[in-house]
Structure 1
């Protein structure tokens, strides 16, 4: 699987699939939130102005990472539920790390698997905060 993954910049033709990945992944993962409020249009709003890198398997999008470049902030990293735990998230992080001198992100406290994932890839929890979605860790990565 790892060798079949290609990372590329976003293209308009990927948008329908990326919307589906975003909705499916959030619905599957964020059990502590009311997923009935999630919709396909959330993707367009939530990634506006961000650099999006897409993981392709056999030419089809299977995940993405979006970065708010003014702050080198990883806003989203989502993998299609049927492709999770196959190294795609790691590939996306490996791809962006050399492109940014420092990275940061928020990881919701109930999302323990994501927190473990980011920490296993060198991110350090700097602090904990609350927002309208609940408690989160603020993590950073530096080479």
Structure 2
């Protein structure tokens, strides 16, 4: 666990690093998908209109969470691959939980480690669905 982790509101100066975190994390994690079509600017369109909070270790972005605020929907939570399993995802969730009365997210079925992580943080699978990327769990937290 990183004790000196800070959470900051997104600003444009974080853009290059967050693009790289988003790309590299998806390439490493989404082993069931063809990730060759992923690119750096995916971040820009995939977080458009969302509230983004950035995890900083010694001033360097190491992860982020983005939320579609009208629905309290966690659209993205990504941590730089070299910082995985150091408590950054937990800190990001702990930061946003008190700010929303209810949170929800989708977790792809093949992503078993992410599902286990979210469940360990109090999220409950309400249903399972299919979309263009495959099957996913719809999870909720809160009321």
Indicate the TM-score class for this superposition, using the shorter chain for normalisation.
over 0.9
> For this pair of structures, how many residues does the alignment match?
143
Equivalent residue runs for 1:27-66 within 5 Å: 27-66=27-66
Runs of at least 5 residues in structure 2 that lack an aligned partner in the other structure: none
CA-CA distance at 1:4 after TM superposition? 1.1
After TM superposition, the score normalised by the length of structure 1 is 0.99
The RMSD of aligned alpha carbons is 0.7
Q: Which residue of 1 aligns with 2:109?
A: 109
Deviations 1:72-124 (A, max 9, x none): 00000000000000000000000000000000000000000000000000000
In structure 1, distance between residues paired with 2:3 and 2:100 = 24
Q: List aligned pairs for 1:1-143, cutoff 5 A.
A: 1-142=1-142
What secondary structure sits across from 1:90 in the alignment?
Answer: helix
Find the aligned partners of 1:81 and 1:22 in 2 and give their Cα distance. Answer: 10
Runs of 4+ in 1 over 6 A off after TM superposition: none
TM-score (norm 2): 0.99
Structure 1 residue 3, shift from structure 2 partner = 1.4
* SS at structure 1 position matched to 2:70: helix
Q: CA deviation at 1:2?
A: 2.5
Q: What residue ranges of structure 1 are gaps of 5+ in the alignment? A: none
Distance 1:116 1:19 in 2: 26
